Structure 1
Amino acid sequence: MVLEIRQADQSDRDAVALLLDRAFRTDPVSTWVFPDPEHRAAVHARFLGVFVDVALAGGRIDYAVDGSAAALWLRVPAGEPEGEDETPALMRAVADPDNERCELVGRLMGAVHPTAEEHEYLLMIAVDPERQGEGLGSRLIGPVLERCDREGVPAYLEASSERSMRLYERLGWERTGEPLRLPDGPQVWPMWRKPRG
C-alpha cells in the first residue's frame, strides 16, 4: 500500500496538532506531564502544538495526504546550541503555566540530545490511533531515512515507550547512553541511527 505524503504548511497546523493529541493522549510521557485525564484532554493539543510550530518554523512536517500520520523533523547542526532553548518555557506558557512538568520534560530531553554531529532529529511521529499497526509510521519516515543513508547523515529520536523503541530498532536506531528517567515517572530512550551503506 502506497502512502501519499506531502509537506505540511501553516494551514495544516491545527490538524497536525490534533493528530498528535490523539496519538499521544495515553503515551507514558504525556500522562506523566498531565496526570489528570480531564485536564490532559483540555491542554494536551496546545502543548503539542508548540512542537508543530517549531517544526513548521525550523524544520518540516511530512504529512500523509489522508491525514492519518505526520512526522516532525528538524535538521540539527553539530555543536552546542547558541543561547538557551526557549521551547521548554514556551511549552509551559502556552499549555499549562502552573505545571512545571511541561517545561521540565523539554529541558531534560534537551540535556541528553547529542551535539557532536549534524543529524536529522525525528522530533515526533504520530499515527492516528485507528490506523496504528498498519505500517504507516515506517512508510512515512522511510524516505527521510533513505536520504540520510544516501547523504551519510545520522538520525536521532527519543522513544517514549518500549513498543515504539522496538519499532525504531527495526528501522536501524540503537539506544544511546542511559535511558532518561523522568522524576517519579517513565523512562525515555535516546536513540541514534547511523547512516547505512
Structure 2
Amino acid sequence: MGALGAALLVLFALVTWQVAARGPLLARDVALAARLRSGGLPDGAAELLADLGSVAVVLPVLVLVAGWAGWRARTAGVVRWWAGPAAALVLLAVVPLLVVPLKAWIARPGPPSMAGTGFYPSGHTATAVVGYGAAVLLVSPWVCGAWPRRWLVVGCLVLNAGVGYGLVRRGYHWPLDVVGSWALFGALLVGSALWWRGRGGPPDG
C-alpha cells in the first residue's frame, strides 16, 4: 500500500506540473471536458453527483459514521475509542488547508461556464475522497469478512468517480482538477490507512 501512496504522489506532481506550466496535456484536458459536458447523464443527475462532494453533505456523513465507530469501539472496550473518529475528522479539516493554497498558487482558470481562477485542485473532489474514504476506514474494522470490506472500498471508489464525473459534466471543473485531487488526497488517505493497519484495526493507543 505504501507503493500506491508513492505512485499517487508522483501522479499528483506530474499533473500539477502540466497544469502550472500550461503543458501539452491541457489541450487534451479541454477536449475531454467538452466531450463529457456534451452528453451522458441529465443535468439534474449530474448536479446531484457533484453535490455529493460538498462539505454540507460529506461532513454530516462522516460525523455520523465517526459517532457510530466511536460507540462501537467504546462498547468493545477499546481504551482510546475516540482516537479513530477524531483522526478522521481532523483529516477532513486538513483538506482546505491544502486545497486553498494550491488553488491560489496554480490559479487555473475555470471552464467556460465558470468565471475567475483557482480551480485546481478540485475542493469538492478532495472533500469526497477524504470524507467518504475516512468513513470506510472507520467502518471496515467492524465489518465481518474480507469481501464485504472490499465491496465497501469499491462503493467508495464508485461514489468518488461519480462526484468527479458530475463536477466535469456540469462544467464546474476540468478533468485534471479532479484527477489532481484524486491523486493528492488519495495518497493522504493511503497514509491514514497505513496508520489504521499499524494499529491492527480501531486505534487503541
TM-score, normalising length: structure 2 = 0.30
> Between Structure 1 and Structure 2, which shows a larger proportion of strand residues?
1
* Structure number with bigger Rg: 2
Relative contact order higher in (CA < 8 Å, ≥ 6 apart)? 2
Question: TM-score if structure 1 supplies the norm length?
Answer: 0.31
**Higher helix fraction (1 or 2):** 2
